[in-house]
Chains A and B, each alone.
Chain A
Amino acid sequence: MVRKSAFPLAVLLLAPGAAAFAQPDTVRIDGSSTVYPITEAVAEEFQIEHRGTYRVTVGISGTGGGFKKFCRGDIDIADASRPIKESERKACAEKGITYIELPVALDALAVVVNPANDWISCTTVAQLRAIWEPAAQEKILRWNQIDPAWPDRPLRLFGPGTDSGTYDYFTAAVVGEEGASRGDFTASEDDNVLVQGVANDPGALGYFGFAYYIENRDKLKSVSIRNPETGECVEPSVENARTGRYQPLSRPLFLYVNPDSLDRPAVATFVDMYLDPGFVTELVTEVGYVPLPEKAYRLAREKLAARRTGTAFAGGSQVGLSIEDLIAAETVD
């Protein structure tokens, strides 16, 4: 015991020298757990290619937590599964931090039911709204309340918790107002819990990221969504999300890059790699998400080269916009 006690003393003595240690050029990333698998895949390849020269760290603080750190200048890149919010833009502006908004992939939200459910195969946004809107709370409790053709069975709902970007996007796309949802559903930040819930309850309906449906296809049944523009029933799939037919439930995922960090070679190299269409398309598919069309990556690179800062989403999540439109859209700081 006596010998050990010299150690903390040494630690205290060394503490003031902390800043003197030269750390390798590090790309610091934090944010959404939805974007994480893509960023992790890119980081893995980046680290293999540049071991010893550059380092990269990726955290999962959630989209909101990521923006908090980003707007304090603690990190170089924020992973986001929704656009930056008004309050976060203010926080960034106060610290004089700007950002380049780069869409990097698409995520389709899958609406799923139990495989024993044989009455629903295609649904409309209006029906989903009737199920999920705040007014439905404690009122819409049986399937036949939505459509008389459906059986008189209890309707039990499963969805992500309120901290999730998925929740924000789904409510914006379906109910029409970000964050507006009934509260009496089983909520979990862990999508695997939702998968289990729907898989074990014949009267269940839930929504979560497409990757979780694909991995559990044998336990779940997906519901097609009627495209509000064309009227056709579209099932969730990589192809349908990529071509823009699976609307309104496919959403873009973003990187927010601090332009000042781009002056550091590690960050510039990393972002360049992230937006390389030949490279990232394959990675995105591999981790269960939908890559953007090649043109979109090219546009994003142009935006990056021009260091065009600001967001195209000054008014919150936009639903049903094509990716090319998104990148080309006017931005506001």
Chain B
Amino acid sequence: MAEIRPLDTPRLIAGARRRDLLFAGIGLAVLFLATAILLALILDLVLTGAPHIDRDFLANYPSRRASRAGILPAWVGTSLVMLVTAALAVPFGIAAGLYLEEYAPRSWLTDLIEINITNLAGVPSIIYGLLALGVFVYTFRLGETILVAGMVLALLVLPVIIVATREALRSIPGEVREAAFALGADKWQTVSMYLLPAARPGILTGIIVALARAIGETAPLVTIGALTFIAFLPPSPITDTPPYVSFEWLWSPFTVLPIQMFNWISRPQAAFHELAAAAGVVLLLMTLAMNGLAIYIRYRARRLMR
């Protein structure tokens, strides 16, 4: 190593600046490249697909003729499956995260559970499909239904929500808990009135990530036997006879957008490939709408906190 003399200081600073600049340049280039590729893909999808999206496309059943084929059962199926997924994964995920972070005693059992949850987040989705096929479809005889699809996707994204909930709770300063206890709040009051509202933005971010992953999943649904051709809708959740609400749709066979896309993209006719792109655009819009809703709730939650 050469000895550094005082005279070298400006050169050293210039060198450090150059390295900084170089790194910033590389970072910018990578960022630009990644965004450009993403934009190009989305642009290509939208340009191919968008002209095909109209009322008929959304209101028609699939057909052998590309000109009259639509995605009605697919988008209804996707919506209903996501509803079940959210209804199961969100409460269970938050409850599990809360328990692990605030209630669970530190023991080897808790450690084991923690390690398992972290690992489960990385298990390939097809494994969940096989599990659901074995447990829900064969053992419990629940059939290849919307309920089972929602359950398997809920299992799939549960670890994501649990981890996000725990991270959000952990980032709340201990003083908040102490302050609540000092005011005479019991544990549940502390959790429900102070911790959960403070953790809500973090939890919602986790939910966004989780549901966005679930909506694009195909592998576990194909494994449990999601169908490709369905030209009828599940029974309506609202009926005209008391009790006016029906859960019969939970037991209906279904298809979802990614499966419909996959089927169309593997057809020989180019017209179906364009329909697949159109279905892709609809799927993107649904994801955006779902995330938009969550972001809006998060925004309101943050404002309330101030």
Contact = CB atoms under 8 A, between A and B. Distances in A.
Contact of B266 (A14, A61, A192, A216): A192
Number of chain B interface residues as a range:
35 or more
A260 interface: no
B85 to A, nearest CB: 11
B268 A191 contact: yes
Contacts of B196: 1
Given A57-B253, A192-B265, A40 B64 contact: yes
A34 B273 CA distance: 17
Nearest to A9: B91
10 contacts: A8-B92, A14-B247, A33-B266, A36-B229, A56-B231, A191-B268, A192-B268, A209-B268, A211-B268, A215-B268
Interface of B: 61-65, 84, 86-88, 90-92, 94-95, 142-143, 147, 196, 225-232, 247-248, 250-253, 263, 265-270, 273
Contacts of B147: 11, 15
A215 B66 CA distance: 14
Given A47-B231, A59-B225, A37 B142 contact: no
Nearest to B226: A59
B266 A7 contact: no
The 4 closest A-B pairs by CB, nearest first: A58-B229, A5-B91, A47-B231, A215-B268
Contacts of A40: 62, 64, 228-229
Contact of A59 (B64, B92, B228, B251): B228
B91 A216 contact: no
A205 to B, nearest CB: 19
B266 A43 contact: no
Interface in A45-70: 47-48, 51, 55-61, 69
Contacts of B225: 30, 59, 61, 69
Number of chain A interface residues as a range:
35 or more
Nearest to A18: B251
Contacts of B273: 192
Nearest to B245: A10
Contacts, number: 103
Contacts of B268: 191-192, 209, 211-212, 214-216, 288
Given A8-B92, A26-B253, A37-B267, 10 more contacts: A1-B91, A4-B87, A8-B87, A21-B251, A36-B228, A40-B64, A51-B232, A56-B231, A57-B227, A57-B230
A216 B269 CA distance: 9
Interface in A203-229: 209, 211-212, 214-216
Given A11-B87, A51-B232, A37 B64 contact: yes
A44 B231 contact: yes
A60 B228 contact: yes
A56 B231 CA distance: 7
Interface of A: 1, 4-5, 7-8, 10-11, 14-15, 18, 21, 23, 26, 30, 33, 36-37, 39-41, 43-44, 47-48, 51, 55-61, 69, 190-192, 209, 211-212, 214-216, 283, 286-288
Contacts of B247: 10-11, 14
B91 A47 contact: no
A103 B267 CA distance: 22
Contacts of B62: 40, 44
A41 B269 CA distance: 15
Nearest to A26: B253
B91 A60 contact: no
Given A21-B248, A43-B231, A59-B228, A8 B91 contact: yes
Contacts of A55: 232
B163 to A, nearest CB: 17
Given A21-B251, A51-B232, A59 B227 contact: yes
Given A40-B64, A212-B268, A1 B228 contact: no
Given A57-B253, A192-B265, A211-B268, A41 B64 contact: yes
A4 B91 contact: yes
Contacts of A1: 90-91, 94, 196
A252 B86 CA distance: 46
A14 B87 contact: no
A15 B248 CA distance: 10
A120 B263 CA distance: 33
Nearest to B229: A58
A171 B248 CA distance: 47
